Amino acid sequence: MATNEHTTPRRRRLAARLTEWSRAQHVAAVLGPGVVVLVFAGLVYAGLQAQVRDRADVAHTHRVIEQVERVLARITDAETGQRGYLLTGRGDYLEPYLAAERDATVALDSLRALLAGRPAQLMRLDTLAALSAHKFADIDTTIRMARVGQRDSAVAIVESGRGKRFMDAARAVAASMEERETTLLAARAAREMRLAGIIKWVLIFGTIVEVLVAVLVNTLLSRHAASQERLSRDLDLSNARLEQQAEELEVQNQQLQEQALEMEQQQHHLQEQATELEMQSEALTHANEDLHTVNVELERVVLDLEQERQVVQAARQAAETASAAKSEFLATMSHELRTPLNAISGYVDLLAMELRGPVTDAQRQDLARIKKSGQHLLSLINDILNLARIEAGRLDLQLGDVRIAEVMTNVEALMAPQMRAKGLAYREAGATEGLTVHADAEKLQQILLNLLSNACKFTASGGSVQVVCDELSQAHERGPRNGRRMVAVRVADTGRGIPEEKLASVFEPFVQIDRQSTPGSQQGVGLGLAISRHLARAMGGDLTVVSAVGVGSTFTLVLPGGEL
C-alpha cells in the first residue's frame, strides 16, 4: 500500500513535468523570436516616422523661405515696372507691377498659413505685409500721378528715398525670417541625422539580439528533447506499477461520496441564488414600469416643444407682416408729406418774387432759410421713400450700358462748386470714354452724388477728394451678372475717417457716425449709404468701405462692366 501511494504521485509528477516543459519550450520557440522582432520593428518604425516628420518639417521650412523670397522678388518686380513706366511712360512696363502685387498677396497668404501657431514669425510676417502694402501704395501713388501728367512729382517721390526705405526695411524683416527658418532647418537636419544613426544602431543591436534569442531557443529545445526522453522512461516504469494502485480506488470512492455531499450543499446554495434572482427580476420589472413613465413624460415634453416652435413661427410671420406694413406706411407717409412741402416751397418762391407785396432784405433771408429747410426736409423724406420702396420690393431699374465719363461729368458739375466753396481739392482719374458699366444711369449718379456729398461733408477745409475709375484685376473680373467683367469706382477722401468698430454699421439704415460733431444743417437720417448699397447690389454690384481715423475713407463701388 505504501509502495502504491508513493508510485502514483510520482507518476503524476512525471506527467506534469513532461507537459509543463513541453508547453514552456513551445511558447519560447514560437513567440520568443517573434516578440524580439516586433519590439525592434516597433523601434525602427517609430524612428522612421520621426524621420519622416523631420523631413516634412525641413520641406516646410524650405517652403517658408521660398515664399519670403517670392514676396521680395515681387516687390522688386513692381519697383522695376514702376521705374520703367516713369522713365518711358509706356503702359507695358506696368505688366510686371500688376502681376507682382497680386502674386505678393498670394505669397503672404501662403506664408500666413505656413506659419500658423508660430507667433514670433507671424509678428515678423505682419511687419513684412505692412511694409509690402506701404511699398505698393507708394508705387500706386507715383503711377497714378504719372497717369494724370504729374510725372515730375512722381519721380521726385522716387528720388526722395521713401520707397528705398520701405524696401530696405522689408529686406531686413525677410532676412530675419529667413535666418530663423535657417536655424530651424539646421536643427531639423541635425535631428534627422541623429535619428538615422539611432535607427542604424537599433537595426544592428536588434540583429544581434535576434541571433542570441535563436541560439537560446535552440538550446532550450535540445535540452527539452533530452529531458523528454528521460521522462518517457520514468513514465514506462510508473505504468508497470498501475496494478498496485487499485486499492487507492476505494479511497477515491470515499472522496466521491464526500464530493456528493458538497454538491448537495452547493445545490441548496443555488436554490437560494435562484430566489435572489427572482427578487432582482421583480425589481427590473418595476424599473421598466418607471422607464415607461419617463418615456410618456418625454413624449409630452416633445409635444410641448413642437407647440412652442409653432408659436415662434407664428410670431416670426407676424413680425414679417409688421415689417411689410411699416414699409408701406413709410412709403405712404413720405408721399403724402412731399405734397405740402412742395407747396411750401412754391409759396416761398411767390413771396420772394414779391407777388404779394414788397419784401425786405431780412424777410428775404428768412424766406431763403425756409426754402433751404424745406428742401432739406424734402431730401430726407425722399430718402425714406426710396428706402421704403426698396424694402417693399418696388425698385424700378432701367439697366443699360452707361459711360462712366458722362456720369462723372454730370456729378462734377453738381459737386465742384461745393468742393471749391469748402476749399477742397478735387481730382478724377481713369474715367476714359471706353470705360462703361451695365447699370441704371440715374441710380449710378445718385450713388456717386451721395458718396461725394459725404466726402465733402466730412473732410475739413484744405483736404482732398479723389475719384478713381478702373477695371478690377483678373481675380475679380468675372462678376455675378452673366459672367461680366467688373469695374470699380473709388471715392477717397482725407477726412476724419471712421472708427474700425463702426465700419460694419455705416451701411445700416438710420445710422449716422459721429452725429454730435456734424453741423445741424448737414445732418441727415442716415439713409444715404444704406440706399446706395441697396442700389449697387440691385444692379449686380456692391459698395464697400475701408477707413482709418485721422487718415480718411475710401468707398468702392463695384459694378458689372458694359459691352460698349
Query: Is 280 domain-assigned?
Result: no
What span, in angstroms and rounded, lies between the C-alpha atoms of 139 and 131? 12
Task: Provide the angle, in degrees to the nearest 10, between the axes of the packed helices 162-240 and 119-147.
Answer: 150
| Cα 441 off chain centre by | 37
What span, in angstroms and rounded, lies between the C-alpha atoms of 531 and 527? 6
Task: Retrieve residue 10's grid coordinates.
Answer: 510520482
Task: Retrieve residue 312's grid coordinates.
Answer: 415662434
Check whether residue 49 and residue 173 sit in a common domain: yes
Element (H, E) at 107: helix 94-114
Tens digits of residue pLDDT in 437-473: 999 999 999 999 999 999 999 899 999 999 999 988 6
Residue 159 has a pLDDT of: 83
Check whether residue 468 and residue 527 sit in a common domain: yes
Helix, coil or strand: residue 125: helix
What span, in angstroms and rounded, lies between the C-alpha atoms of 510 and 295? 52
What span, in angstroms and rounded, lies between the C-alpha atoms of 303 and 310? 11
Check whether residue 522 and residue 456 sit in a common domain: yes
Of 374, 394, 414, which residue sits at a domain end? 394
Helix, coil or strand: residue 552: strand
Residue 299 is part of which domain span? 289-394
Of 225, 250, 267, which residue sits at a domain end? 225
Query: Is 181 domain-assigned?
Result: yes
| Cα 415 off chain centre by | 41
Check whether residue 409 and residue 452 sit in a common domain: yes
User: Which residues are within 8 A (CB) of 478 and not within 5 positions of it... i.e. 6 or more apart?
Assistant: 484, 485, 486
Whether residue 385 has pLDDT greater than 70:
no
Residue 188 has a pLDDT of: 80
Are the CB atoms for 455 and 522 separated by under 8 Å? no
CATH number reported for the structural domain that contains residue 429 in this entry: 3.30.565.10
Question: Based on the structure, what is the number of domains in the chain?
Answer: 3
Query: Is 420 domain-assigned?
Result: yes
User: Which residues are within 8 A (CB) of 523 and not within 5 positions of it... i.e. 6 or more apart?
Assistant: 512, 515
Sequence length of the chain is 564
Closest to 181 (Cα-Cα) out of 322, 62, 7, 310: 62
Task: Retrieve residue 66's grid coordinates.
Answer: 521660398
Q: What is the sign, positive or negative, of the torsion defined by CA atoms of 293, 296, 298, 304?
A: negative
Of 394, 413, 436, which residue sits at a domain end? 394
Structure pTM?
A: 0.41
Check whether residue 381 and residue 322 sit in a common domain: yes
Check whether residue 70 and residue 111 sit in a common domain: yes
What span, in angstroms and rounded, lies between the C-alpha atoms of 61 and 136? 27
Check whether residue 386 and residue 441 sit in a common domain: no
Greater confidence (456 vs 294) lies with 456
**DSSP for residue 495:** S
Residue 259 has a pLDDT of: 86
Query: Is 247 domain-assigned?
Result: no
Are the CB atoms for 413 and 452 separated by under 8 Å? no
Task: Retrieve residue 78's grid coordinates.
Answer: 513692381
Residue 332 has a pLDDT of: 63
Query: Is 258 domain-assigned?
Result: no
Closest to 502 (Cα-Cα) out of 491, 494, 513: 513
Helix, coil or strand: residue 402: strand
- Per-residue pLDDT, averaged over 329-353, amounts to 69
What span, in angstroms and rounded, lies between the C-alpha atoms of 458 and 447? 17
Tens digits of residue pLDDT in 103-155: 888 988 998 998 988 899 899 989 989 988 888 888 888 888 888 888 888 88
Residue 437 has a pLDDT of: 94
Query: Is 357 domain-assigned?
Result: yes
Element (H, E) at 427: strand 425-429
Are the CB atoms for 209 and 28 separated by under 8 Å? no
Check whether residue 416 and residue 511 sit in a common domain: yes
Check whether residue 348 and residue 484 sit in a common domain: no
CATH number reported for the structural domain that contains residue 315 in this entry: 1.10.287.130
Closest to 94 (Cα-Cα) out of 149, 156, 147: 147
What span, in angstroms and rounded, lies between the C-alpha atoms of 559 and 348? 41
Query: Is 60 domain-assigned?
Result: yes
What span, in angstroms and rounded, lies between the C-alpha atoms of 365 and 361? 6
User: Which residues are within 8 A (CB) of 33 and not within 5 positions of it... i.e. 6 or more apart?
Assistant: 210, 213, 214, 217
Check whether residue 384 and residue 404 sit in a common domain: no
Residue 478 has a pLDDT of: 44
Residue 477 has a pLDDT of: 46
Check whether residue 343 and residue 410 sit in a common domain: no
Query: Is 242 domain-assigned?
Result: no
Neighbours of 25 (CB within 10 A): 19
- Per-residue pLDDT, averaged over 394-399, amounts to 81
Check whether residue 412 and residue 384 sit in a common domain: no
Residue 480 has a pLDDT of: 47
Residue 330 has a pLDDT of: 59
